Amino acid sequence: MLLDEPDSGIDVEALERIFEAIKLLKDKGSTVLLITHSMAVLRQAEHAFLICRGRLIDKGEADKIGMHFDRQCLPCDHPNFPLENE
């Protein structure tokens, strides 16, 4: 399933229901791809890919990418992003 910004324009209660539905799909073996700008949505994921201007700049476990992103308010082309130098 592909969800493009599932949190856009909805209230917190509706977002919780979306997360519950995503968890049910995952538990049944489905893959769910989320596109988001929200760290709250990112925290619901297992794995994440951080893309900036069409380039992959980080990938891995979502909680680690989220922590990196939260700690540093860096522009996405900053050299400290791990994949920038690969």
pLDDT, tens digit, for every residue of 24-64? 998 999 998 888 878 778 777 888 888 877 878 788 888 78
Residue ranges of domains in the chain? 1-40, 46-86
**pLDDT for residue 85:** 43
Torsion angle, alpha carbons of 71, 58, 11, 30, to 10: -140
| CA–CA separation, 71 and 86 (whole Å) | 22
Position with higher pLDDT, 73 vs 6: 6
Q: Where are the alpha helices (DSSP H) in the chain?
A: 12-27, 39-42, 62-71
The rounded Cα 9 to chain-centroid distance in angstroms is 17
